[in-house]
Amino acid sequence: MDELMEGLAEAIGEQFDNYFQSLDNIFTLAKASPMDAIPGFPSQELWNASSQLAVTIGAGVASTIVALFLFFELASLFNRSDTKGLDGIYWILMVFLKAAVAMALCKNMTVIIGACFEIVASMVDIIQESDLFEDTMTQTVNISSQLAEYYRDAGFWESLGSWIFSWLAKGCNWVCMTLAEIVCKLRFIEIYVFVAIAPVPFCTLINKEYKHIGIAYLKRLIALGLQGLFIAIVCFLYITIVNASVNNVVVTDDGGIGAMFQMMGYSLLLIIAIFQTGGWSKSLVQVN
């Protein structure tokens, strides 16, 4: 009987070994640039495909739009009465300069987009390399050993019921972490779609009437980058909450079931918060 109780206690503890390990994948996805190699995700292939679409489809449409803007700008310019002599030459050159800038933006849009996400990646690295993050990780509750120690002295039926419940808690955590990774990967899919049509909104920046399209596009890109930063912050706060709440719960009246139930609740809280990060980032930059 003692061997059976010892086996149940060890089995319950093993369910929570490396409880925060799955967060490493989420941190990796949160800080990764869309052109980086991401384990288990064809990021580089998708980046190459979206970039080729931008060049073959988007660039052609963008060139047409720039030509139309150039035509209308020149037509409006020639109808003005203050464009005579040197002033007229100056304004004509400015129109062609704006068209050149628009085409330069279209051709270098991958560099601009990559720079946006590199900044976010560096900010997430700062969080992970900070003393606060390291202190939080070193103070991480040794949930596995606490639960195993608790159930060595518990009754058989309590241990058996908790062993069954531990599978439910582990399954809930696995589902939540899987959903969190899906949200992170959906963010990358959205990024690649935006990359494929990047030349079109970029070229609208030269026109006063339609530049709001390009500005809204840039804001949406910034929001996608900030979403990765928010995901990293949410994961960091999740670790902090679990450390603060679950610590020593197994030695209170709630016992192991109480600790596991709290961990399930915080896993659900994590995935709800990660789902909200997209809305938070869009609210911050005031874009839909």
Write the single-letter amino acid at 2. Answer: D
List Cβ neighbours of 198 (8 Å cut-off, separation of 6 or more): 54, 58, 106, 109, 110, 113, 217
What is the model's pLDDT at position 274?
92
The count of structural domains within the chain is 1
Angle ∠(264,269,271) on CA atoms, nearest 5: 100
Domain housing 133: 2-285
What pLDDT score was predicted for residue 18? 72
Q: What is the predicted pLDDT for the residue at 164?
A: 78
Computed over its alpha carbons, how large is the radius of gyration of the chain? 27
| Structure confidence at residue 142 (pLDDT) | 67
Per-residue model confidence (pLDDT) at position 138:
66
Return the pLDDT at 212. Answer: 84
pLDDT in the model for residue 273: 93
Distances, alpha carbon 82 to alpha carbons 69, 74, 86, 88, 94, in Å: 21, 14, 10, 7, 15
pLDDT at 2: 62
Would residue 80 be called left, alpha or beta, if left means φ above 0 and alpha means ψ between -120 and 50 degrees? Answer: beta
Check: CB of residue 234 under 8 Å from CB of residue 277. Answer: yes
* Per-position pLDDT tens, the chain of length 288: 566 666 666 666 676 777 777 788 888 888 888 887 887 788 888 888 888 887 776 667 777 776 667 666 666 666 665 556 566 666 667 767 777 777 776 676 777 777 778 888 888 888 777 777 777 766 666 676 777 666 666 766 666 777 777 788 888 888 888 899 899 889 989 888 888 888 888 777 777 777 788 888 888 888 888 898 899 889 888 888 887 777 655 555 556 677 777 888 888 999 999 999 988 988 888 887
8 Å CB contact between 188 and 83: no
- Residue keyed to tokens 């518990």: 154
